[in-house]
Amino acid sequence: MSENPFESRIGKEIDNESEMIFDATSEALSKPNPSLEYCTLTVEETFDRLGTSGDYGLESVAEVGRRRLAFGVNEVVSEDDESVWKKFIMNFVEDPLILLLIGSAVVSFIMGNIDDAVSITLAIVFVVTVGFVQEYRSEKSLEALNKLVPAECHLIRCGQESHVLASGLVPGDLVNFKFGDRIPADIRIVESVGLSIDESNLTGEQEPVHKTAQEVSKESYNDQPFSIVPISDRTCIAYMGTLVKEGHGKGIVVGTGKNTSFGSVFEMMNTIEKPKTPLQLSMDKLGKDLSLVSFILIGFICLIGVFQGRSWLEMFQISVSLAVAAIPEGLPIIVTVTLALGVLRMAKRKAIVRRLPSVETLGSVNVICSDKTGTLTSNHMTVSKIWCLDSMETKSNSLVLDKPRTTNYRNYLTEDVKATLIISNFCNNASFSQEHCKHLGNPTDIALLENLSKFELQDLRFQTKKVHEIPFNSRRKFMAVQLIEPDGKCSLHVKGAFEKILEQSATYLNKKGKPERLLDSHRRLITETANSLASDGLRTLAFARAELPNANDKVSEDAISGLTFTGLVAMSDPPRPTVKPAVESLLRGGVHVIMITGDSENTAVNIAREVGIPIINPQLSVLSGDKLNEMTDEQLANVIDHVSVFARATPEHKLNIVSALRKRGDIVAMTGDGVNDAPALKLADIGVSMGTMGTDVAKEASDMVLTDDDFSTILTAIEEGKGIFNNIQNFLTFQLSTSVAALSLVALSTTFKLPNPLNAMQILWINILMDGPPAQSLGVEPVDHEVMKKPPRKRTDKILTNEVLQRLSMSAFIIILGTVYVFIKEMAEDSQVTSRDTTMTFTCFVFFDMFNALACRHATKSIFETGLFANKMFNYAVGLSLLGQMCAIYIPFFQQVFKTESLSLGDLVFLLLVSSTVLIADELRKLWIKRNALNDPYLYSNV
């Protein structure tokens, strides 16, 4: 966690930004919403309020036209009128480093250095264009909302049913919908038959929601902020973009376009501006620091020259040239290329990064807020345990179904277990799709069907005739199926909540298949077992059956009684096997992992412990959605350091959590897949969406998409991000130490009225090496897996840390000392500057540069640990640079260009010995760090 986040300028900016976002979000949530308003009204009140009917819909075409003028078309569109060109131009003036480079190009052009001006201009255009394309693509998130609105719908208007474009709907329209339809607007349901709707793209919960026409009691929610009925509890509302999974229904349109629940998300998305990444903040700071150093350098050189009696114009030209040379114009290109290569590497590891700077930000993340379903877990319900009263006898003695595959479960198939499995087969609406080669339907039903194969049982539904079905709903809490079996008997099979099944049960089935009287002691044992399974984080269902005397009479809900209890089945969504090692690695690296789920606290705590998230004290480590609603932002920020699990949380809570964390100065990664997750994904420093389960809106609002929906992929992405930042620091060390050394040589010769040791062409060649292949090859250095042991970087940390500055200063000092030594030694032999003197000095500096590049491959590890030839691109770059240097001193044409002459083999050996001191010194520094690390491991982890 960050320290004193409110004391820094950046911390205050984040605090203010989060306040503005939260205020806007609270306003959007508290704003009267049609679905909120109409969910508490009866069907008749809805008709009266909207002037419509449940048979004919709106009865006037003129009224439809008037409402369309008042409410607009049923679309969610962006109102951003800013032109693409204006956005592109703004990228040139918002980055201090780019502004500094523009100034350098202008000065170079005025001074007649056309080559420098052109190269700097091309660098600027390249960097700005790549960044703009990435940003422009990320701003397409709002457009993805329109994909959720179906193209057509079934409309009843003026008593006539028609198939029309959904964009033409207005409040008061009557709409029909059935299995497979996507809801075209926010609709108040007036009729429903076994209606279940998948709201996962809105709420994030995978279980379909049963819908009825019954209004919601508003009094039950008076204790909620703004007396809001939560989205998931508005059971008489069908939301735009959700999908009908079962049954059919009819409803009145109450909200269109921006007046829908998706419209509220749109408003929040408009409010939120993607925050700058830590790398962008660091590069901004670096640009300002380089500007300051440049101006100080200009003033210093000018004053010295003037005091020496030189003309103002001459000194201005010298100092401006030095200042321009001080700016590593290749830096933005190298950063961009390094990030782009990181994106390509991460794509191979199933993480698609949508914004280049986000690659490095991953390495700075110190808090990860993760969904449970599908991210930490496999998003596939599995039957874990079966318990039957007679076969198991005690509450702790259940049939565990996660044993090795060699286990023959058929050996455990007593009559009560078999009956339980058969009932789970009959009370089931899932089916196997030949097209998709898998079961489709409710996740619970799929788990029950897949469980049959463990016991070598077949699907028996095709051998029976279904007479009647009573569907499951949240009020009834059970499902019943009336069947005629192959032998002609009529039977009733029931599954549901154990308390409901027990209420209607009079007997239980023993292990020999005979009914026995259900005593109070039996009921207590069943209740204790069911509660014990639930406390283990398992979803528990009870099963029962009854024989019916008459196959022609359909059993009503109220007539169900006298059932024979057969057993309990407990299911779970098991954690992914890769998650626990990933969580442990993140915790060791100082990353706070928080799980956010809509499950109960017991279930959430059990899953958290299974995946390795520490729960020391549930009262401190677990925070429910109800408690979260009662807390202010400041209260949440104060306690969130101890919270590892948010239970009964809604997607709206995610925005509060991200806001609180960012106020503290934390760098937050947030996972999500639903539409309602989009604002939190956009506000987070790193928004991570799911590639398989995620909606288009969530993907467009995120910075990274996990193609496998696996949490452990985030770990590999963080490792890559940390490695990239290390590489950026390494090539910055190389570039700036070279730049400081070259400038210091010229400044020293000017100050002490010595001849210039390097001519213009030689300085140009050194600049090419500084910004060219050797520097760029440092950006693709293989990632060191030990980076995960380092704590996350703070948002306010500089890219040029004290350690980096000390390292580059030491290297620059050795290069200056060695080069000056060679220059003075050679000049002393003939008391004047000859071409041999400058050739020796020039070659010495280039050799120093190559050894310095080798030393900069890793900050703390010896080149013998990293592998002398591990980075192939670096080997090629250094080899070509040395070949180019040999051409400069041995080929006659280049000798004329660079004013050099041939050197003997002895000269080269001497220069190699002198220039290798920069590598030797750095190796000694690394050895000193390693020895100190034995006494203080934290010191080593922070270097």
Would you say residue 202 lies in a domain?
Answer: yes
- Tell me the two tokens of residue 65: 């036209």
Phi, psi dihedrals of residue 683, rounded to the nearest 5°: -75, -35
pLDDT for 482 equals: 92
pLDDT for 424 equals: 95
Per-residue pLDDT band at 268 (split at 50, 70, 90): low
Sign of torsion over alpha carbons 692, 694, 697, 700 = negative
CATH number at residue 74: 2.70.150.10
Are 669 and 362 contacting, i.e. CB atoms less than 8 angstroms apart? yes
- In this structure, the strands spanning 431-433 and 438-440 are antiparallel
Phi, psi dihedrals of residue 185, rounded to the nearest 5°: -160, 180
Same domain, 257 and 117: no
Sign of torsion over alpha carbons 210, 213, 216, 217 = negative
Same domain, 530 and 413: yes
- Tell me the two tokens of residue 261: 């629940």
**Can you tell me the distance from the alpha carbon of 588 to that of 590, in angstroms, rounded to the nearest whole number?**
5
Would you say residue 630 lies in a domain?
Answer: yes
Per-residue pLDDT band at 204 (split at 50, 70, 90): low
Residue 51 has pLDDT above 70, yes or no: yes
Residue among 371, 416, 573, 710 flagged as catalytic: 371
Share of the chain above pLDDT 90, in %: 24
**Can you tell me the distance from the alpha carbon of 198 to that of 243, in angstroms, rounded to the nearest whole number?**
5
Three-state secondary structure readout of 544-588:
EEEEECCCCCCCCHHHCCCEEEEEEEEEECCECCCHHHHHHHHHH
Residue type, 316: F
Phi, psi dihedrals of residue 774, rounded to the nearest 5°: -60, -45
Same domain, 827 and 922: yes
Same domain, 795 and 931: yes
Would you say residue 358 lies in a domain?
Answer: no
Would you say residue 942 lies in a domain?
Answer: no
CB-based contacts of 243, cutoff 8 Å, min separation 6: 180, 181, 182, 183, 197, 198, 201
**Distances, alpha carbon 119 to alpha carbons 94, 101, 102, 104, 877, in Å:** 21, 11, 11, 11, 20
**Can you tell me the distance from the alpha carbon of 715 to that of 88, in angstroms, rounded to the nearest whole number?**
34
- Tell me the two tokens of residue 778: 């440092």
Per-residue pLDDT of 542-585, as tens digits, reads 999 999 887 667 888 888 889 999 999 999 888 888 899 989 98
pLDDT for 422 equals: 95
What is the helix (H) or strand (E) element at residue 663, kind and residue range? Answer: helix 651-663
Mean pLDDT on 495-503: 92
Same domain, 601 and 723: no
Per-residue pLDDT of 414-452, as tens digits, reads 999 999 999 999 998 888 877 667 787 778 888 999 999
Per-residue pLDDT band at 696 (split at 50, 70, 90): low
pLDDT for 172 equals: 94
The region of weakest confidence among 12-16, 118-122, 240-244, 633-637 is: 12-16
Mean pLDDT on 261-277: 66
Are 359 and 343 contacting, i.e. CB atoms less than 8 angstroms apart? yes
Same domain, 786 and 893: yes
Would you say residue 300 lies in a domain?
Answer: yes
pLDDT for 827 equals: 84
pLDDT for 25 equals: 42
Domain hosting 20: range is 6-79+149-270
Per-residue pLDDT of 116-144, as tens digits, reads 677 667 766 765 675 566 455 444 443 44
Mean pLDDT on 469-479: 77
Same domain, 749 and 693: no
The region of weakest confidence among 182-191, 432-441, 498-507, 735-744 is: 432-441
For 598-727, strand residue ranges (E) read 622-624, 645-647, 668-672, 686-690, 704-706
Cβ of 105: how many Cβ atoms within 10 Å? 22
- Tell me, yes or no, if 371 is annotated catalytic: yes
Residue 894 has pLDDT above 70, yes or no: yes
Are 204 and 676 contacting, i.e. CB atoms less than 8 angstroms apart? yes
Would you say residue 423 lies in a domain?
Answer: yes
pLDDT for 583 equals: 92
Residue 677 has pLDDT above 80, yes or no: no
pLDDT for 324 equals: 56
Q: Which of 669, 609, 678 is nearest to 644 (CA)?
A: 609
Residue 4 has pLDDT above 80, yes or no: no
Boundary-marking domain end, from 681, 709, 737: 709
**Can you tell me the distance from the alpha carbon of 138 to that of 140, in angstroms, rounded to the nearest whole number?**
5
Residue 30 has pLDDT above 50, yes or no: no
Are 654 and 702 contacting, i.e. CB atoms less than 8 angstroms apart? no
Residue 9 has pLDDT above 50, yes or no: no
Mean pLDDT on 283-299: 70
- Tell me the two tokens of residue 343: 């994106």
Residue 29 has pLDDT above 60, yes or no: no
Residue type, 314: E
Mean of per-residue pLDDT scores for the chain: 80
Per-residue pLDDT band at 746 (split at 50, 70, 90): confident
Give 515 or 348, the one with higher predicted confidence.
515
pLDDT for 49 equals: 92
Q: List the strands of the sheet with 351-353, edge to edge.
A: 351-353, 704-706, 686-690, 668-672, 367-371, 592-596, 645-647, 622-624
Per-residue pLDDT of 723-739, as tens digits, reads 888 888 888 888 888 88
Burial of 32 (0-12, 13-18, 19+ CB in 10 A): exposed
Per-residue pLDDT of 134-173, as tens digits, reads 455 444 443 444 444 556 788 999 988 888 888 899 999 9
**Distances, alpha carbon 454 to alpha carbons 92, 387, 402, 407, 421, in Å:** 64, 16, 10, 9, 11
Q: What is the DSSP letter of 632?
A: -
Sign of torsion over alpha carbons 896, 898, 901, 902 = negative
Three-state secondary structure readout of 379-408:
CCCEEEEEECHHHHCCCCCCEECCCCCCCC
- Tell me the two tokens of residue 508: 């239980």
**Can you tell me the distance from the alpha carbon of 243 to that of 211, in angstroms, rounded to the nearest whole number?**
12
Q: What is the DSSP letter of 375?
A: I
pLDDT for 739 equals: 80
The region of weakest confidence among 5-14, 500-509, 883-892 is: 5-14
Boundary-marking domain end, from 510, 543, 572: 572
pLDDT for 522 equals: 93
Per-residue pLDDT band at 13 (split at 50, 70, 90): very low
Highest mean pLDDT among 77-86, 132-141, 648-657, 819-828: 819-828
CB-based contacts of 650, cutoff 8 Å, min separation 6: 203, 230, 231, 232, 598, 625, 676
Residue 85 has pLDDT above 80, yes or no: no
Per-residue pLDDT band at 494 (split at 50, 70, 90): very high
Give the three-state DSSP class for 211.
coil
Burial 855-888 (b: 16+ CB within 10 A, else e): bbbbbbeebeeeeeeebebbeebbeebeebbeeb
Residue 929 has pLDDT above 90, yes or no: no
Indicate left, alpha or beta for 326 from its phi (over 0: left) and psi (-120 to 50: alpha): alpha
CATH number at residue 918: 1.20.1110.10
Highest mean pLDDT among 49-63, 92-106, 386-400: 49-63
Same domain, 669 and 750: no
pLDDT for 744 equals: 81
Per-residue pLDDT band at 310 (split at 50, 70, 90): low
pLDDT for 150 equals: 56
What is the helix (H) or strand (E) element at residue 431, kind and residue range? Answer: strand 431-433
Would you say residue 356 lies in a domain?
Answer: no
Same domain, 343 and 424: no
**Distances, alpha carbon 147 to alpha carbons 240, 260, 262, 264, in Å:** 11, 15, 12, 16
pLDDT for 385 equals: 92
Mean pLDDT on 469-498: 85
Mean pLDDT on 97-109: 68
The region of weakest confidence among 107-121, 636-650, 774-788, 897-911 is: 107-121
Per-residue pLDDT band at 104 (split at 50, 70, 90): low
Same domain, 17 and 140: no
Same domain, 494 and 403: yes
Residue type, 520: D
Same domain, 545 and 590: no
Give 126 or 347, the one with higher predicted confidence.
347
The region of weakest confidence among 102-116, 131-145, 355-369, 881-895 is: 131-145
Give 812 or 363, the one with higher predicted confidence.
812
Give the three-state DSSP class for 496.
strand
**Can you tell me the distance from the alpha carbon of 469 to that of 443, in angstroms, rounded to the nearest whole number?**
19
CATH number at residue 608: 3.40.50.1000
Burial of 79 (0-12, 13-18, 19+ CB in 10 A): exposed
Per-residue pLDDT band at 2 (split at 50, 70, 90): very low
- Residue that has been written with the tokens 């041939």 in this structure: 902
Phi, psi dihedrals of residue 635, rounded to the nearest 5°: -65, -45
pTM above 0.85, yes or no: no
Boundary-marking domain end, from 674, 709, 744: 709
Would you say residue 535 lies in a domain?
Answer: yes
Per-residue pLDDT of 842-851, as tens digits, reads 999 999 999 9
Are 196 and 180 contacting, i.e. CB atoms less than 8 angstroms apart? no
- How many separate domains does the chain show? 5
Highest mean pLDDT among 210-214, 304-308, 774-778, 910-914: 910-914
Q: Which of 674, 614, 599, 685 is nearest to 203 (CA)?
A: 674
Please count the CA atoms within 13 angstroms of the CA of 372 that sit on its side-chain side: 32
